[in-house]
Structure 1
Amino acid sequence: MNEFEHQNETTRRSFMATAARTLLGVQLLPLVGGESAAAAPISGARAKSVIYLFMSGGMSHVDTFDPKPRKKDVMGPLETLPSKADDIFVGQHLRRTADVMDKVCVVNSMTSRQGAHEQGSYIMHTSYAMRGTVKHPSLGAWALKLGGRLNPEIPGYVAIDSSPETTGGGFFGAKFSAAPIGSPSEGLKDSHRPGSVEKDAFDRRLALADRLNRQFHQRYQNADVEAYQELYKEAVRLMNSEDLKAFNLNDEPESARKLYGGGRFAQGCMLARRLVEHGVRFVEVQLGGWDTHYDNFAGIEGRCQEFDQAYPALLQDLADRGLLESTLVVVATEFGRTPEIKAEHNNGRDHHPSAFTCLLAGGGVKGGFRYGSTDAKGEKVKENPVEVQDFNATIAHALGVPHDKVVMSPSRRPFRFADQGKPVLEVFA
Structure 2
Amino acid sequence: MNPTSTSFGRRQFVAGAAQTFLGVSALSQLGSKALGAGANASPQKQVPTARNVIYLYMNGGMSHLDTFDPKPDSDVMGLTKTIKTRVDGIRLSENVPLLARHANKLAILRGMNSTQGAHEQGNYFMHTSYTPRSSIRHPSMGAWLQKFQDRGNPTLPGSVMIGNESRHPGAGFFESRFTPLMINDPESGINNVRPLDWFTEDRFASRLSLAKKLDQKFASTYDVKNVRAYSDMYDDAVKMMKSEELKAFDLDAEPDAVREKYGRDRFGQGCLLARRLVEHGVRHVEVSLGGWDTHNANFTRVPELCDQLDSAMSALLGDLEARGMLNETLIVLATEFGRTPDINSNDGRDHHPAGFSCVMAGGGIRGGQVYGATDERGDKVIEGSTGIPDLNATIGYALGLPLDAVLYSPTKRPFTIADKGKPLTQLFG
Q: TM-score, normalised by structure 1?
A: 0.90
Distance 2:270 2:17 in 1: 31
Residue 94 to residue 17, structure 1, CA distance change in 2 (3 Å)? farther
Deviation, 1:27, is 4.7
* Aligned pairs (5 A) from 1:348-363: 348-363=348-363
Deviation, 1:411, is 1.1
Confirm or deny: 8 A CA contact 2:58 2:335 kept in the other structure.
Answer: yes
Distance 2:155 2:127 in 1: 26
Confirm or deny: 8 A CA contact 1:373 1:381 kept in the other structure.
Answer: yes
Q: Please say which of residues 163-172 and 319-328 is displaced more in the overlay.
A: 163-172
Per-residue deviation, residues 352-389 of structure 1 (Å, max 9, x unmatched): 00000000000000111100011000000010100100
Distance 2:209 2:162 in 1: 33
Matched, 1:54 2:66: no
Distance 2:245 2:282 in 1: 10
Confirm or deny: 8 A CA contact 1:106 1:370 kept in the other structure.
Answer: yes
Confirm or deny: 8 A CA contact 2:65 2:77 kept in the other structure.
Answer: yes
Deviation, 1:162, is 4.3
Residue 24 to residue 339, structure 1, CA distance change in 2 (3 Å)? closer
Distance 1:41 1:188 in 2: 38
Confirm or deny: 8 A CA contact 1:213 1:229 kept in the other structure.
Answer: no
Distance 1:121 1:371 in 2: 22
Among 158, 178, 181, which residue is 2:180 paired with?
178
Confirm or deny: 8 A CA contact 1:185 1:267 kept in the other structure.
Answer: yes
Distance 1:284 1:160 in 2: 6
Q: Please say which of residues 315-324 and 164-173 is displaced more in the overlay.
A: 164-173
Deviation, 1:91, is 1.0
Deviation, 1:163, is 2.4
Matched, 1:110 2:112: yes
Distance 1:388 1:26 in 2: 32
Q: Please say which of residues 197-206 and 210-219 is displaced more in the overlay.
A: 210-219
Distance 1:411 1:21 in 2: 27
Structure 2 match to 1:375: 375
- What letter is aligned with 1:259? K
Structure 1 match to 2:5: none
Structure 2 match to 1:18: 12
Per-residue deviation, residues 130-182 of structure 1 (Å, max 9, x unmatched): 00111101111111112221211211111001424324111102111111111
Confirm or deny: 8 A CA contact 1:136 1:170 kept in the other structure.
Answer: yes
Gaps of 5+ in 1: 1-14, 34-39
Q: Please say which of residues 225-234 and 403-412 is displaced more in the overlay.
A: 225-234
Q: Please say which of residues 285-294 and 73-82 is displaced more in the overlay.
A: 73-82
Deviation, 1:29, is 3.3
Matched, 1:421 2:424: no
- What letter is aligned with 2:383? E
* Aligned pairs (5 A) from 1:21-36: 27=21, 29-30=23-24
Confirm or deny: 8 A CA contact 1:46 1:399 kept in the other structure.
Answer: yes
Structure 1 match to 2:291: 289
State how many pairs are aligned: 405
Matched, 1:68 2:71: yes
- What letter is aligned with 1:46? T
Distance 1:136 1:377 in 2: 35
Structure 1 match to 2:390: 390
* Aligned pairs (5 A) from 1:185-204: 185-204=187-206
Distance 2:15 2:406 in 1: 37
Deviation, 1:86, is 2.0
Confirm or deny: 8 A CA contact 2:96 2:306 kept in the other structure.
Answer: yes
Matched, 1:270 2:272: yes
* Aligned pairs (5 A) from 1:124-135: 124-135=126-137
Deviation, 1:78, is 1.2
Deviation, 1:23, is 8.6
Instruction: Report sequence identity in percent.
Output: 47
- What letter is aligned with 1:229? S
Residue 403 to residue 16, structure 1, CA distance change in 2 (3 Å)? farther
Confirm or deny: 8 A CA contact 1:150 1:280 kept in the other structure.
Answer: yes
Structure 1 match to 2:148: 146
Distance 1:385 1:221 in 2: 48
Distance 2:156 2:174 in 1: 19
Matched, 1:86 2:80: no
- What letter is aligned with 1:165? R
Distance 1:41 1:273 in 2: 31
Residue 409 to residue 303, structure 1, CA distance change in 2 (3 Å)? same
Confirm or deny: 8 A CA contact 1:141 1:177 kept in the other structure.
Answer: yes
- What letter is aligned with 1:408? Y
Confirm or deny: 8 A CA contact 2:328 2:362 kept in the other structure.
Answer: yes
Residue 222 to residue 397, structure 1, CA distance change in 2 (3 Å)? closer
Distance 1:413 1:396 in 2: 21
Among 113, 121, 124, which residue is 1:122 paired with?
124
Deviation, 1:244, is 1.3
Confirm or deny: 8 A CA contact 1:213 1:225 kept in the other structure.
Answer: no
SS in 2 for 1:422: coil
Deviation, 1:220, is 5.4
Among 200, 206, 230, which residue is 2:208 paired with?
206
Per-residue deviation, residues 216-243 of structure 1 (Å, max 9, x unmatched): 3245557544322222222212222221
Q: Please say which of residues 53-62 and 195-204 is displaced more in the overlay.
A: 195-204
SS in 2 for 1:204: helix
Q: TM-score, normalised by structure 2?
A: 0.90
Confirm or deny: 8 A CA contact 1:213 1:226 kept in the other structure.
Answer: no
